Structure 1
Amino acid sequence: MEIIGIVKKLFDIQKFNSGFQKREIVITTEEPYPQNILVEFIQDKVDLLENVKPKDKIKIFINIRGREWTNPEGIIKYFNSIQGWKIEYHSNYTGTSNKTSTASSSSSLSSDDFDDLPF
């Protein structure tokens, strides 16, 4: 899946004692009813946001994650998150960095990387 929009806000990197790190970004979609979408980048994917600036128009490739949590009262709650794994600058991008930003991890493969058609 992917989301195209204008960067509204970039948050600072959050580092935790466990070694886990994440950085969040808000992009505003361009549609009749624009949406402000929060996307998180975790671990080595945090580096993808290094050259991104507010007002850049970007395409973020995402995965949607869900999890279950039981609170202290025993009530089960469900949470969703949107995790980014690749960024492309859109056609009217005005910055000077590379057109595509990806992590140097082999986990960045998508279905486009595989073609099982015989022609």
Structure 2
Amino acid sequence: MNIKGKLLEVSDTQQISDSFKKREFVIEYAENPQYPEFVKFEAIQDKCALLDTFKSGDEIDVYFNIKGRKWNDPKGGVKYFNSLQAWKIDGVNASTGSAGAPPASPDMPTEEPGWVSENEDDLPF
């Protein structure tokens, strides 16, 4: 999936544990400019660096996966959490609508990760 919008906020990279880090960012998605949506994404591990070339106000195209988790709390309740994990970010050239980000480095893939199956639909709705 992908979505285009204006980059509003970029947080610093958070080192959650010795082996896990994440970086959150927010875009303004204005499909209907009268009622813009503010969508928070996260980049994890090596994808945190994707945001280094962008600044607040840039128009970007975010490619992402929807992730959902189930958690059983100690009191016996069940909670569900969703996240939008970005795996590619392109700059958008306002005059042409084409990608305007610098070329990807050899260690930054330009395609969706192989572990994501395009034909697999495991969403419960």
- Calculate the TM-score normalised by the size of structure 2: 0.76
Matched, 1:69 2:71: yes
Counterparts of 1:12-31 in structure 2 under 5 Å? 12-31=12-31
1:78 to 71, 77, 80: 80
Cα deviations by residue, 1:59-107 (Å, 9 ceiling, x for unpaired) = 00010000100111010111110000001111228xx961x55782569
- Per the alignment, residue 90 of structure 2 pairs with 88
Q: Deviations over 1:31-72 (max 9, x none)?
A: 212100000000010110111100000000010000100111
Alpha-carbon distance in structure 2 between the residues aligned to 1:37 and 1:25? 8
The one-letter code of the counterpart of 1:86 is K
After alignment, is 63-72 or 13-22 more displaced?
13-22
Q: Partner of 1:46: helix, strand, or coil?
A: helix
Q: Which moved more, 1:5-14 or 1:15-24?
A: 15-24
Structure 1: gaps of 5 or more residues: 112-119
Q: In 2, are the aligned partners of 1:12 and 1:23 still within 8 Å (CA)?
A: yes
Amino acid at match of 2:23: R
Aligned Cα root-mean-square deviation (Å): 2.5
For the residue of structure 2 that corresponds to 1:22, the secondary structure is strand
Count of paired positions? 108
3-state DSSP of counterpart to 1:16: strand
Give 1:117's aligned residue.
none
Identity of aligned residues (%): 37
Query: In structure 1, what residue type is equivalent to 2:10?
Result: L
Match of 1:115 in 2: none
Q: Report the alpha carbon displacement of residue 19 of structure 1 after superposing the two structures with TM.
A: 2.1
Aligned to 2:49: 47
The answer to whether the 8 A contact 2:91-2:101 is kept is no
Secondary structure of the equivalent of 2:36? Answer: coil
TM-score (norm 1): 0.80
Selected match of 1:109 from 101, 107, 112? 112
The alignment partner of 2:19 has SS state of: coil
Alignment correspondent of 2:122: none
